[in-house]
Structure 1
Amino acid sequence: MNGPRTPTLAPNARPHRIGPLRRWYQQKLERWLYGRAPDLQPLTLTQRRIYILPTVAGLGFVATLLTMLLVAINYDLALGYAVVFLLAGVGTLGMGQTCRNLAGLTLVPGHADNALAGETLYVTLYARHSRNEPRPALRFNVADDGMACAPVDISLRAAGEVTVTLRITGLQRGPFRLPPIRVESRFPLGLFRTWTIWRPPIAALIYPAPAYPAPALPPLAARGQIRRTTQTRHPWTGEDDFAGLRQRTPADPLRHVAWKIAARRDGIEIATPELLLKHFHGTEAGEQWLSWDDARPECDDHDDPAAGQEARLSILCAWVLAAERRGVPYGLRLPGEDIPPDLGPAHREACLTRLALFGLDTSASAPWDTSAGAAS
Structure 2
Amino acid sequence: MNWPGSLALRRYFLRYLDRKQPPLPALTLTQQRIYILPSRLGLWFAVLVVLLYLLGTNYQNNLILLCSFMLLSLLLLTMLQAFYNLYRLRLAVLADAQTYAGSPGALPLKLQSRDCRMLQLGLYGQKLQQLLPNLQGEQQFNLQLPVLPRGCYSLPRLKLSSQFPFGLFNCWSYPALSAQLWVYPAPMPPNDSVPLSAADPGQQRATVQTDADQLKPYQAGDLPSRILWKKLATHPEQPVVRQIPLAAARSEQWVQVPALTGPALEQALSMACYQLQQLETTGSQYGLMLPGKTLALGRGQRHLTSCLQELALC
How high is the TM-score relative to the length of structure 1? 0.62
1:155 aligns with 2:139: no
1:144 aligns with 2:125: yes
- Look up the match of 1:99: 83
Amino acid at match of 1:97: Q
Q: For 1:237-256, what aligned pairs fall within 5 Å after superposition? A: none
Q: For 1:335-354, what aligned pairs fall within 5 Å after superposition? A: 335-354=291-310
Q: Which has the higher strand share?
A: 2
- Once the two structures are TM-superposed, the CA of residue 189 in structure 1 deviates from its matched residue by 1.4
Partner of 1:151, secondary structure, is strand
How far apart, CA to CA, are the structure 1 residues paired with 2:18 and 2:63?
Answer: 45
Query: Are the structure 2 counterparts of residues 44 and 290 from structure 1 closer, same or farther at C-alpha, using a change threshold of 3 Å?
Result: closer
Query: Are the structure 2 counterparts of residues 79 and 24 from structure 1 closer, same or farther at C-alpha, using a change threshold of 3 Å?
Result: same
Q: For 1:215-234, what aligned pairs fall within 5 Å after superposition? A: 215-216=191-192, 218=195, 220-221=198-199, 225-226=205-206
How far apart, CA to CA, are the structure 2 residues paired with 1:224 and 1:105?
Answer: 59
Asked if 1 retains the 8 angstrom alpha-carbon contact of 2:111 and 2:139, the reply is yes
- Once the two structures are TM-superposed, the CA of residue 187 in structure 1 deviates from its matched residue by 1.5
- Look up the match of 2:256: 291
Moved more, 284-293 or 305-314: 284-293
- Once the two structures are TM-superposed, the CA of residue 190 in structure 1 deviates from its matched residue by 0.9
Unaligned runs of 5+ in 1: 1-16, 232-280, 297-304, 359-376
Q: For 1:161-200, what aligned pairs fall within 5 Å after superposition? A: 161-200=138-177
How far apart, CA to CA, are the structure 2 residues paired with 1:101 and 1:323?
Answer: 49
Amino-acid identity (%): 30
- Once the two structures are TM-superposed, the CA of residue 59 in structure 1 deviates from its matched residue by 1.4
Query: Are the structure 2 counterparts of residues 220 and 102 from structure 1 closer, same or farther at C-alpha, using a change threshold of 3 Å?
Result: closer
Asked if 2 retains the 8 angstrom alpha-carbon contact of 1:110 and 1:202, the reply is no
Query: Are the structure 2 counterparts of residues 226 and 25 from structure 1 closer, same or farther at C-alpha, using a change threshold of 3 Å?
Result: farther
How far apart, CA to CA, are the structure 2 residues paired with 1:353 and 1:41?
Answer: 21
- Look up the match of 1:30: 14
How far apart, CA to CA, are the structure 2 residues paired with 1:137 and 1:162?
Answer: 15
- Look up the match of 1:48: 32
Amino acid at match of 1:207: Y
- Once the two structures are TM-superposed, the CA of residue 166 in structure 1 deviates from its matched residue by 0.8
Asked if 2 retains the 8 angstrom alpha-carbon contact of 1:39 and 1:200, the reply is yes
Unaligned runs of 5+ in 2: 212-245
Q: Which has the higher helix share?
A: 2
How far apart, CA to CA, are the structure 1 residues paired with 2:101 and 2:41?
Answer: 40
Q: Deviations over 1:247-292 (max 9, x none)?
A: xxxxxxxxxxxxxxxxxxxxxxxxxxxxxxxxxx949825433333
Query: Are the structure 2 counterparts of residues 27 and 155 from structure 1 closer, same or farther at C-alpha, using a change threshold of 3 Å?
Result: farther
How far apart, CA to CA, are the structure 2 residues paired with 1:285 and 1:228?
Answer: 14
Q: Which of 64, 79, 101 is matched with 2:63 structurally?
A: 79
How far apart, CA to CA, are the structure 1 residues paired with 2:283 and 2:17?
Answer: 53
Q: Which of 179, 189, 196 is matched with 1:202 structurally?
A: 179
How far apart, CA to CA, are the structure 2 residues paired with 1:89 and 1:95?
Answer: 10
Structure whose alpha-carbon radius of gyration is higher: 2
Query: Are the structure 2 counterparts of residues 109 and 61 from structure 1 closer, same or farther at C-alpha, using a change threshold of 3 Å?
Result: same
Q: Which of 276, 282, 285 is matched with 1:320 structurally?
A: 276
Q: Deviations over 1:73-128 (max 9, x none)?
A: 55554332222222122111111111122223333343224322233332222233
Amino acid at match of 1:156: L
Query: Are the structure 2 counterparts of residues 350 and 110 from structure 1 closer, same or farther at C-alpha, using a change threshold of 3 Å?
Result: closer
How far apart, CA to CA, are the structure 2 residues paired with 1:226 and 1:25?
Answer: 70
Asked if 2 retains the 8 angstrom alpha-carbon contact of 1:58 and 1:191, the reply is yes
Q: Which of 106, 110, 121 is matched with 2:105 structurally?
A: 121
How high is the TM-score relative to the length of structure 2? 0.72
